[in-house]
Structure 1
Amino acid sequence: MPEEGKGGRGLTQRLRTAKGRTTASQKWLQRQLNDPYVRRAKEAGLRSRAAFKIIELDERFSLFRPAQRIVDLGAAPGGWTQVAVSRAGDRGVVVALDLLPMDPVAGAAVLLGDFNDKSAECAVLDALAGPADLVLSDMAPNTTGHVATDHLRIIALVELAADFAAKVLSPGGAFVAKVFQGGTERDLLARLKRDFATVRHAKPPASRKDSAESYVVAQGFRGEGVRAAEAGVAQPR
């Protein structure tokens, strides 16, 4: 990781040995060593550099507030969960869900399961003890290297996450999800604009410049009015 010398110039650290490592592994390790966000995450006791992405999104969109109920989908290794617990405070409720086992995070309920399963949805709602104010998703599918295929996969995953959010969010709530190059598909974007008062895209500074990722931030969930409209129920004026 870069360090400042007396002259103020950054010093690039290099791998001490490349023995037994593939070229791709060497490049990844070299990048990690010289990534300021990796250093900052370690200094702050955060589990991943990705924690700074949600911190920066919060600074721009004011996502968090005290006493919120928050769901973190695909939470492992827990960087976003740590931030959510910190921002929601002692009166907040944070539920982290992932298919992969995750070490406990103080102040959060950590659940193991697939958010598409009804049992997992029920477990999340039980742990929340009420509707959610914010649903976060930093999930991404395994990539194939084929841009079009990978784009379709991430959009499908975001659609499923949006479905989940619509089931658990309270009116006025927010939804944040990772998308890749190409942004949000027209149908999904139209659905989010119908369900939320505002929908915006952002690439936080912590996202690497060479990464195709960005985030869709949907705020002001319309709640029961949307569900009633879908069911064809007239709303009182």
Structure 2
Amino acid sequence: MKASRLVSVFAFPALLILFTAFPAVQELLLGSLFPGNEELIYPRSSLLQLLSTHLVLTAISTAAATAAGFLLGLFAYLEPSGAGRRSVAGLSGVAQTFPPAAVIALAVPALGFGAPPVLLALFLYGMLPVVVNTTKGFDSVSPRVLEAARGVGMNRIRQFSLVEFPLALPVILAGVRISAVINVGTAAIGAVAGAGGLGAPIIAGLVRFNPALVLQGALATALLALSIDAAFGLIADKTRT
């Protein structure tokens, strides 16, 4: 494992915990950057509570997008004609065409305020990278490898589970990685629908013209995204060995 990878795997989560768990650290940093601000940290909830809400939103939406995206990508790969692949690509592309804020606004009348409309938006927006990378991953498996698997007597199920899926897994995980990082950033928009999360200080800071609150939420969101990206990078290294 590269030293830089090892450092990032531990450094970013450590900085995230240090910044979110200790209000004194937040006040020290933000106070040095914005000495004239009377309100330096978000008063309604602790940043650690907002982080936990943000993690739940990201985890649920990414898990759902991964499951749906993998199944759609697998269908596109196994479907013999090109029509299935074009349909899946079109469907997932349309799902990501709508901005998350628009999806949330349209879903609020039907689903109400809170987590449901935000989860729907994150699910739709995070599905495309998984679909694309699933098809790319399976397409990258060499026909010679498949022919060799059939030559040793493997049936279709064993060929898929022992050959195709393990070889495609690193590419699929790269799609999940992209989806997770996208959802971390996009989940911040959920604060406008009352879902909470690290977007709450950002929205409050924009409304109150308070850059300290904006930076409080933005810095925590960035550290979370970097932590998740580093974790998936570690997993990717393990799958290649």
Is TM more than 0.5 here?
no
- Larger helix proportion of the pair: 2
Name which one, 1 or 2, has greater alpha-carbon Rg: 2
TM-score of the two chains, using structure 2 as the length reference? 0.24
| Larger RCO (alpha carbons 8 Å, 6+ apart) | 2
Structure with bigger strand share is: 1
TM-score (norm 1): 0.24
